[in-house]
């Protein structure tokens, strides 16, 4: 299975590599042969395609690496640094990552079976749906047999698998291991581990798997002042918020930064226009609630009126030299914009700290000076540029424009320096559209050349595709205007209410409950639709699809959760009763559907660790969907409460109610990490 995936990935990588190379060659020819091509929009398109392909390539390469390492970090090769193995089930806490433990066990087995092999692959993956193949598989025997062949040692995968099996330390988490097929090692987990972990979840709640605490800077949302906050920023906001929640759940020290575009030449024209329209702006608050219209007007003047244009430039100079009147005007404009953004953040429950480009003003002077001193800047037609590598490959950063001004590039060099040196960050995450991938690769390369980043450090660009309408074209209103985010959220609210009324929920819920359900469904479905798709791909925004109550949607999961919660309510068994029962006698899994559901729940730490490292949130969504599917199967086959003909409760199966409670807790935590509010009734 993993092998097949690997092949597919490799094939796709080759294809992507080839495409990227073709485009690069094409570009090279064009640029070298025909200078008139510079500035041609087709060149921009090719460049941006090229960036996207390069990005896909990097993603595919990562996937291959992850596939061969297993999804989380592999066990350490140094025997002295090896983690201690579990010897007693009762010592396990509910937050343990079993995959990690299996990797440690097989690492030991493989290195002691084949001590002469350098870095033998330790691949553990999920076994898939058939319980015959166990819960996990170790697929190392095939590649190891190849490695041996290359050393002229005769072997076959089954024999290798048996050798590994013989060297695997006994572990209380494993019931048995079988060699199957071409040399797979099928690992069957011990049921008592599942029972123990489930009882921990009931007694102590959902705890994060232990990891080394890091200081992590997450740059997300980051709209631009006076310009619209568009659907791209909405994606960045939703994805960034969820990433922060997951990292904070793991106890990392997370700095959530809104890198607002609050500096630059556009402020010259905005201030000039403000002076004309509202000369009293310092004493009276001007009614510029529609800042975008105000921006459009000033842009029109700027383009058409030479005198205005000159004044606008003069305003920039005044602003940059700190003239208090101009600074006051600038602040006012930022404030109006910021209040608009806050409306979106409040509705979507986003917390973020503003630290716009202006914050780096003095820091930009410093970094430019340092880069000059390091002789890293080069003159190019009046500009100062910096290459990502010594041999001047690719495109350079523009650090100082020919008019002496700074750029987006300059601000991001100052930004990374601040995040490394002042903020003492250890991970640097940027959530923007895939189009900016090349920019961040270049910033990383230049930061390394300048000694800001160490060679083993990286910038993590969390890229995402564009939002498309149902017609697969750029997302627009029917009349062709760009969609205002507030209007989009309002429409979500309206549609969510329609859906609830359609299902007759307005007749059973109180007005307060109905409102809560409406908001949970509306914002939950918008977030989930975004997060449940692989973020690299473009995604089609469709209220009809996201409000469907079947399939992998927020509505489905929210309903599933309320249904689970209602089971114990109907049985009139309180959570306290369940917990004290667990403390007395633990939890027993007997039916095959119970065991299956229990084993899915155990994987929560594994999923969280994977997502926290690759920052692909759709795996968490898929996992939640898997839990609710396993739950449906369990609930179809196993009744929790037995009633007589008159509907009187005659028997309560407490172990099953405990399993319901554990399921609900994992689902609630998962949804919370995605930024989705749950409701007890809907």
Give me the residues that bind ligand ARG (CB under 6 A), please: 219, 222-224, 259, 261, 412, 415, 430, 432
Min dist. Cβ of residue 257 to ligand ARG (A): 8
Q: Is the CB of 301 or the CB of 467 nearer to ligand ARG?
A: 467
Q: What are the structure tokens assigned to 675, written together? A: 């930024």
Min dist. Cβ of residue 446 to ligand ARG (A): 14
CA distances from 335 to 295, 331, 451 (A): 14, 6, 36
Alpha-carbon gap, residue 240 to 221, rounded angstroms = 7
Q: Is the CB of 135 or the CB of 444 nearer to ligand ARG?
A: 444
CA distances from 490 to 344, 477, 483, 500 (A): 11, 14, 12, 16
Min dist. Cβ of residue 259 to ligand ARG (A): 4
C-beta of residue 31 within 8 angstroms of C-beta of residue 25: no
Min dist. Cβ of residue 67 to ligand ARG (A): 30
C-beta of residue 329 within 8 angstroms of C-beta of residue 274: yes
Min dist. Cβ of residue 540 to ligand ARG (A): 22
Q: Is the CB of 104 or the CB of 415 nearer to ligand ARG?
A: 415
Q: What are the structure tokens assigned to 41, written together? A: 């929009």
Which residues sit opposite 125 in a β-bridge?
137
Q: Is the CB of 94 or the CB of 223 nearer to ligand ARG?
A: 223
User: Pairing between strand 378-380 and 383-386?
Assistant: antiparallel
Min dist. Cβ of residue 219 to ligand ARG (A): 5
Number of H helices, E strands in the chain: 24, 16
Q: Is the CB of 171 or the CB of 415 nearer to ligand ARG?
A: 415
Residue from 267, 391, 242 nearest 332 by CA? 267
Min dist. Cβ of residue 383 to ligand ARG (A): 20
Min dist. Cβ of residue 430 to ligand ARG (A): 5
Q: Is the dihedral of CA 268, 273, 276, 281 positive or negative?
A: negative
Helix (H, G, I), strand (E, B) or coil at 656: helix
Q: Is the CB of 157 or the CB of 223 nearer to ligand ARG?
A: 223
Min dist. Cβ of residue 418 to ligand ARG (A): 11
Q: Is the CB of 106 or the CB of 437 nearer to ligand ARG?
A: 437
C-beta of residue 368 within 8 angstroms of C-beta of residue 400: yes
Q: Is the CB of 109 or the CB of 348 nearer to ligand ARG?
A: 348
Q: Is the CB of 135 or the CB of 219 nearer to ligand ARG?
A: 219
Alpha-carbon gap, residue 432 to 447, rounded angstroms = 19
Q: Is the CB of 224 or the CB of 581 nearer to ligand ARG?
A: 224
Q: Is the CB of 55 or the CB of 311 nearer to ligand ARG?
A: 55
CA distances from 34 to 49, 169, 381, 394 (A): 20, 66, 19, 17
Alpha-carbon gap, residue 554 to 548, rounded angstroms = 9
Q: Is the CB of 44 or the CB of 379 nearer to ligand ARG?
A: 44
Q: Is the CB of 432 or the CB of 581 nearer to ligand ARG?
A: 432
Min dist. Cβ of residue 266 to ligand ARG (A): 12
Q: Element (H or E) spanning 550, and its range?
A: none
Min dist. Cβ of residue 370 to ligand ARG (A): 19
The DSSP line for 369-428 is HHHHHTT--EEETTEEEE-SSTT--S--EEEE-TTS---HHHHHHHHHHIIIIIS--SEE
Phi, psi of 140 (to 5 degrees): -80, -20
Helix (H, G, I), strand (E, B) or coil at 618: helix
CA end-to-end span of the chain? 40
Alpha-carbon gap, residue 423 to 403, rounded angstroms = 31
Min dist. Cβ of residue 229 to ligand ARG (A): 9
Min dist. Cβ of residue 100 to ligand ARG (A): 33
Alpha-carbon gap, residue 502 to 553, rounded angstroms = 18
The DSSP line for 175-234 is EEEEEETTTEEEEEEPHHHHHHHHHHHHHH---PPP----EEEEE----BTTS---HHHH
Min dist. Cβ of residue 668 to ligand ARG (A): 32
Alpha-carbon gap, residue 397 to 410, rounded angstroms = 8
Q: Is the CB of 147 or the CB of 442 nearer to ligand ARG?
A: 442
Min dist. Cβ of residue 368 to ligand ARG (A): 17
Helix (H, G, I), strand (E, B) or coil at 596: helix
Min dist. Cβ of residue 235 to ligand ARG (A): 11
Q: What are the structure tokens assigned to 416, written together? A: 């990374």
Alpha-carbon gap, residue 611 to 68, rounded angstroms = 17
Helix (H, G, I), strand (E, B) or coil at 674: coil
Q: Is the CB of 259 or the CB of 533 nearer to ligand ARG?
A: 259
Alpha-carbon gap, residue 630 to 659, rounded angstroms = 12
Q: Is the CB of 430 or the CB of 543 nearer to ligand ARG?
A: 430
Q: What share of the chain is helix, strand, coil (3-state, %, to 5)?
A: 60, 10, 30
Q: Is the CB of 412 or the CB of 661 nearer to ligand ARG?
A: 412
Q: What are the structure tokens assigned to 148, written together? A: 């041996």
Report the 10 Å Cβ neighbour count for 502.
10
Q: What angle do CA 300, 304, 308 make, to 5 degrees?
A: 85
Min dist. Cβ of residue 141 to ligand ARG (A): 46
């Amino acid at each position: 299975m993993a092998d097949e995936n690997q092949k597919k990935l490799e094939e796709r990588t080759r294809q992507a590599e080839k495409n990227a190379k073709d485009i690069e060659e094409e570009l090279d020819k064009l640029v070298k042969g025909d200078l008139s091509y510079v500035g041609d929009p087709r060149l921009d398109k090719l460049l941006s395609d090229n960036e996207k392909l390069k990005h896909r390539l990097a993603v595919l390469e990562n996937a291959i690496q992850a596939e061969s390492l297993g999804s989380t970090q592999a066990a350490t090769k140094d025997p002295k640094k090896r983690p201690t193995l579990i010897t007693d089930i009762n010592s396990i806490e509910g937050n343990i990552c079993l995959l990690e433990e299996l990797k440690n066990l097989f690492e030991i087995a493989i290195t002691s079976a084949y001590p002469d092999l350098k870095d033998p692959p330790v691949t553990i993956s999920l076994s898939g749906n058939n319980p015959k193949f166990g819960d996990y598989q170790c697929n190392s025997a095939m590649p190891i047999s190849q490695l041996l062949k290359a050393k002229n040692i005769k072997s076959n995968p089954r024999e290798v698998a048996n050798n590994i099996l013989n060297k695997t330390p006994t572990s209380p988490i494993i019931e048995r291991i079988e060699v199957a097929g071409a040399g797979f090692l099928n690992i069957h987990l011990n049921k008592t581990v599942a029972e123990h972990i489930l009882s921990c979840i009931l007694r102590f709640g959902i705890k994060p798997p232990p990891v080394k605490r890091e200081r992590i800077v997450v740059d997300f949302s980051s709209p631009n002042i006076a310009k619209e906050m568009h659907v791209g920023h909405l994606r960045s906001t939703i994805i960034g918020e969820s990433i922060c929640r997951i990292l904070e759940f793991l106890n990392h020290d997370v700095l959530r930064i809104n890198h607002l575009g609050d500096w630059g030449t556009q402020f010259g024209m905005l201030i000039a226009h403000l002076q004309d329209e509202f000369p009293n702006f310092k004493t009276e608050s001007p009614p510029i609630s529609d800042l975008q219209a105000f921006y459009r007007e000033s842009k029109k003047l700027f383009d058409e009126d030479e005198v205005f244009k000159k004044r606008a430039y003069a305003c920039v100079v005044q602003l940059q030299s700190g003239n208090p009147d101009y600074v006051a005007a600038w602040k006012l404009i930022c404030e109006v914009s910021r209040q608009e953004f806050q409306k979106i953040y409040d509705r979507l429950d986003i917390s973020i700290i503003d630290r716009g480009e202006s914050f780096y003003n003095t820091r930009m002077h410093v970094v430019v000076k340092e880069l000059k001193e390091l002789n890293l800047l080069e003159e190019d037609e009046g500009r100062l540029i910096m290459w990502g590598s010594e041999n001047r490959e690719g495109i350079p950063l523009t650090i100082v424009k020919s008019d002496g001004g700074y750029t987006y590039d300059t601000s991001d060099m100052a930004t990374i320096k601040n995040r490394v040196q002042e903020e003492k960050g250890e991970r640097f995450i940027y959530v923007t559209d895939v189009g900016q991938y090349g920019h961040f690769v270049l910033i990383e390369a230049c930061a390394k050349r300048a000694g800001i980043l160490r060679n083993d450090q990286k910038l993590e660009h969390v890229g995402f595709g564009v939002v498309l309408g149902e017609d697969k074209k750029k997302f627009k209103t029917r009349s062709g205007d760009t969609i205002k985010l507030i209007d989009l959220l309002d429409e979500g609210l309206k549609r969510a209410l329609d859906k609830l009324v359609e299902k007759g929920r307005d007749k059973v819920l109180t007005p307060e409950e109905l409102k809560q359900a409406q908001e949970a469904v509306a914002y939950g479905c918008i977030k989930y639709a975004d997060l449940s798709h692989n973020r690299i791909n473009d995604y089609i925004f469709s209220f009809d699809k996201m409000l469907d109550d079947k399939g992998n949607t927020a509505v489905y999961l929210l309903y599933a959760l309320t249904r689970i919660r209602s089971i114990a309510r109907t049985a009139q068994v309180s959570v306290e009763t369940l917990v004290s029962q667990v403390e007395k006698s633990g939890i027993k899994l007997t039916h095959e559907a119970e065991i299956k559901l229990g084993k899915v729940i155990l994987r929560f730490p594994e999923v969280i660790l994977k997502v926290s490292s690759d920052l692909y949130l759709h795996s968490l969504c898929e996992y939640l969907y898997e839990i609710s599917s396993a739950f449906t199967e369990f609930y179809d086959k196993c009744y929790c409460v037995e009633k007589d003909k008159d509907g009187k409760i005659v028997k309560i199966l407490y172990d099953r109610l405990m399993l319901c409670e554990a399921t609900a807790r994992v689902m609630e935590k998962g949804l919370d990490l995605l930024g989705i509010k749950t409701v007890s009734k809907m």
